[in-house]
Copies of this chain bind each other. A is one copy, B any other.
Amino acid sequence: MKKKLFDYAKDNARRVTIKGSEGIAVGMKEVALQNGESILLYDTAGVYADENYEIDLKKGLPPFRKPWIDARLAKDGAVKTQYWYAKNGIITPEMEYVAIRENQGAQGPESITPEFVRAEIAAGRAILPANPNHPEAEPMIIGSRFLVKINANIGNSALGSDIEEEVEKALWAVKWGSDTVMDLSTGKNIHQTREAILRNTPVPIGTVPMYQALEKVYGQIEKLTWEVFRETLIEQAEQGVDYFTIHAGILREHLPHALRRVTGIVSRGGSIMAKWMEINQTENFIYTHFNEVCDILARYDIAASLGDGLRPGSLADANDAAQFGELKTLGKLAKICRENDVQVIIEGPGHVPMHLIQENMELQKKYCDEAPFYTLGPLVSDIGAGYDHITAAIGGAMIGWYGTAMLCYVTTKEHLALPNKDDVREAVVTFKLAAHAADIAKGHPGAMHRDLAMSRARYEFRWRDQFNLSLDPERARRFHLEMIKNSDADYCGMCGPHFCAMRITKSIQKKD
């Protein structure tokens, strides 16, 4: 692992911490600007960004959340969920932490208070994924009234990749701004890969436990049982996974609809469960054991991410009876989660043409009582092979504006292959932009300050500030310097010195 994976000095920046109540210190990226100002940016890098931090993958990250967890355990005698605390009027250190974090850049009176965070969690409109067994993770919040978050999927398939490579991929995604990481490994060393990721990643980790359960029965779907699945949930809960994708909503009654589709079932978990139901001629065992699932989730404060096993895999299948039938079921399950004090979010599509996106958001809110929505794109066309980060970013930005709380990234390799590091970087930055565009459109109080700083830097030809304020300073710098060997030029390589609109405009202003 390269020591300089997170080298903020290159961006004329440093990690600073904003202090809250005792023991609370929220890391942010402070960029020093050429005009003497500085700006605070939301940051996912954790202590890796500390210039003095020594990376040691064997040792793992400091478990800084442990004192908070231990204090609660001593007081309450058992793990309670962030939802339970919120419902009972208690503001946890995690809630205060995210309030400070979300307020980066907010102008005027802080609009995101710890009490606001608590109230949103209590209302079920937001979750704070924080398994006590993952004390290395920095608290973050997923909800429609907060910054739109993004998730990066990593994980080896049967076709490749090793453990250290997966950890590096997770940190690489975090470096570019991923708010959570899902480990979707399905090949060898699932347990060890996940362990290494959990101990070394400063963001919440999600998984799809079904994948490992299936590995445990050697890939034979007919051998899957509730017991194997239950055992897998507990194994992963003990390790510290923060949220589980659970395909509890796909039912036998939905299958005839799904099998008539152009692209059938495109969710791996959904297809496995559909096959299991067909073989056993009986109902989804996660659905029939859902209260027991909730018991486990509550015991570890793991958030349920209710999987959309019937998400559309093509425009032709969007918003159909299979998809919305399952969504209704997910709404019922979300209710059961809340009755069991379990934090819950709902997963969504998939492939959806632009004019059908809003209906997804509206029905999700209605059926699921405003539980946070977590979507994969949606992709607004089926023909984007090789460019599906773009078809998905278009749909993602729109649904984020409409109220979706988290976007799962889609890479250029979608439908074709597993992403490499370049693809992960491209996809994370792409989705950060989509999420950020949504934050601006929905009026998040901290969203606009970075754009304003960038535009001012642009108008004043502060090139280094433009690089450092962008989401990928290295790329912006490289593009500019390939053409102009000078970071102090008062023009850019697009128009050259004689045709710079901004320079001409300023010559007018100076006289006026």
| A505→B265 contact, CB < 8 A | yes
Measured CA separation A458–B312 after assembly (Å): 13
For residue A196, CB closer than 8 A to chain B, the reply is: no
- Which B residues touch A389, using CB under 8 A? 390
> Which of these, B219, B393, B470, contacts A498 with CB under 8 Å?
B219
Task: Enumerate chain B residues within 8 angstroms of A381, measured Cβ to Cβ.
Answer: 433, 436-437, 440, 451
CB distance from A40 to the nearest CB of B (A): 14
- Most B Cβ at <10 Å: residue of A265, A416, A433, A483: A416
User: Are A472 and B387 closer than 8 Å at their CB atoms?
Assistant: yes
On chain B, the residues within 8 Å of A401 by CB distance are 354-355
Contact for A502 among B264, B494, B500, CB less than 8 A: B264
Across the interface, which residues of B come within 8 angstroms of A71, CB to CB?
none
| Contact of A511 (CB < 8 Å), options: B268, B278, B418, B502 | B278
Chain B residue nearest to A312 in the complex (CB): B455
Residue ID in chain B nearest A382 by CB atoms: B451
Residue pair A390, B393 in contact (C-beta under 8 Å):
yes
Per a CB cutoff under 8 Å, which of B391, B434, B455 touches A263? B455
Shortest Cβ gap from A270 to chain B (Å):
7
* Interchain CB contact (< 8 A) of A507 among B159, B275, B455: B275
Q: Which of A52-60, A94-102, A229-237, A407-415 contacts the other chain?
A: A407-415
By CB atoms of chain B within 10 A, which of A267, A505, A512 has the most? A505
Give Cα A386 to B385, complex, Å: 21
Given A414-B494, A416-B476, residue A504 in contact with residue B272 (CB < 8 A): yes
A316 contact set on B, CB distance < 8 A: 448, 451-452, 455
Q: B386 and A472: CB pair below 8 A?
A: yes
Bound together, the chains give a CA A465 to CA B397 distance in angstroms of 30
Cα A231 to Cα B450 in complex, Å, equals 45
Given contacts A417-B494, A499-B157, A499-B268, contact A467 B275 (CB under 8 A): no
How many residues belonging to A are interface residues under a CB distance threshold of 8 Å? 108
Please tell me which stretch of A123-131, A199-207, A254-262, A332-340 contacts chain B, meaning at least 4 of its Cβ atoms lie within 8 angstroms of it: A254-262
A152 to B: closest C-beta gap in Å: 14
User: Does A394 interact with chain B (Cβ within 8 Å)?
Assistant: yes
Say whether B315 contacts A451, CB under 8 Å: yes
Of chain B, the residue at the smallest CB distance from A512 is B259
B278/A483 in contact, CB under 8 A:
no
Q: Which of B158, B385, B471, B501 is close to A268, meaning CB atoms less than 8 Å apart? A: B501
A78 to chain B, nearest CB (A): 36
Q: Which residues of B contact A160 (CB under 8 A)?
A: 483
Closest Cβ of chain B: how far from A118's Cβ, in Å? Answer: 28
A479 to chain B, nearest CB (A): 4
Q: How distant is A98 from chain B, measured CB to nearest CB, in Å? A: 22
Residues of B near A437 (CB, < 8 A) are 353-354, 380-381, 391, 394
CB neighbors of B among A75-123 (8 A): none
Contact A502 B266 (CB under 8 A): yes
Once the chains bind, are B385 and A467 in contact (CB under 8 Å)? yes
Sorted from nearest, which 9 A-B pairs have the closest CB atoms? Answer: A314-B455, A417-B493, A264-B505, A417-B483, A158-B496, A354-B441, A271-B501, A386-B475, A271-B504
Measured CB to CB, the residues of A under 8 A from B are 157-160, 186-187, 211, 214, 219, 221, 255, 258-259, 262-268, 270-272, 274-275, 278, 313-316, 353-355, 380-387, 389-391, 393-394, 397-398, 401, 412-418, 429-430, 433-434, 436-438, 440-443, 448, 450-452, 454-456, 458-459, 466-467, 469-472, 475-476, 479-480, 482-484, 492-502, 504-509, 511-512
